[in-house]
A = this chain, B = another copy of it.
Amino acid sequence: MQHFPTIFSITESEIDLNDLLAKITLPSAGAAAIFTGMVRGVTARDNPHETKYLEYEAYIPMAEAKMRQVADEIRERWSVVEGIAIVQRIGKLYPQTPTVLIACTAAHRDTGVFEAARYGIDRLKEIVPVWKKEVGPNGEEWIEGAHIPKAGE
């Protein structure tokens, strides 16, 4: 399995989907499931509001270590997954900008590759130490997550 590419990074640069997909596509890959999150300028659900921008902050070395852990957890659960890319962009990010990407490749699409990508973004939002402050028309507010990691997480 060691030859399967795993990319994880915290970056201030634009997320380049074409480049990341190419980097995790082996000759044996026929399918990629990719999730991207974008900054919402307008939120309707729960507490409807507008967002001017989000300011992301990360504890970079731990975030990269936890991204590697997310990749390891994906491989444990879906051994058919070949390449994995996990990228979190940080800094000041405006609506419609991609902020995060999880991509998994596999030989075929019916192998769990969609579920693997979904698992990846769910876990990233639980254990990767990144935070965002939301700046809107009425001021700014740190967004707080809900997950309390357990020992070994």
* A contacts, CB < 8 Å to B: 16-18, 21-22, 25-45, 95-96, 98, 105, 107-109, 114, 117-118, 121
- Checking B38, B109, B118 against A121 with a beta-carbon cut-off of 8 angstroms, the contacting residue is B109
Assess the B29–A21 pair: CB atoms within 8 A. Answer: no
Assess the A37–B41 pair: CB atoms within 8 A. Answer: no
Q: Would you give the shortest CB distance from A95 to chain B, in whole angstroms?
A: 5
Q: Would you give the shortest CB distance from A43 to chain B, in whole angstroms?
A: 7
| Complex CA–CA separation, A42 to B17 (angstroms) | 23
Each complex incorporates copies of this chain amounting to: 2
| Complex CA–CA separation, A22 to B26 (angstroms) | 26
Among residues of B, the one whose C-beta sits closest to the C-beta of A31 is B37
For A108, the chain B residues whose CB sits under 8 A away are: 45
For A17, the chain B residues whose CB sits under 8 A away are: 17-18, 21, 34
Q: Would you give the shortest CB distance from A115 to chain B, in whole angstroms?
A: 8
Assess the B34–A35 pair: CB atoms within 8 A. Answer: yes
Q: Can you list 7 contacts pairing A with B, beta carbon distance less than 8 Å?
A: A27-B96, A29-B38, A30-B38, A34-B35, A45-B107, A45-B108, A114-B118
A22, A40, A95, A98 interface centre (most CB from chain B within 10 Å): A40
| Complex CA–CA separation, A101 to B24 (angstroms) | 16
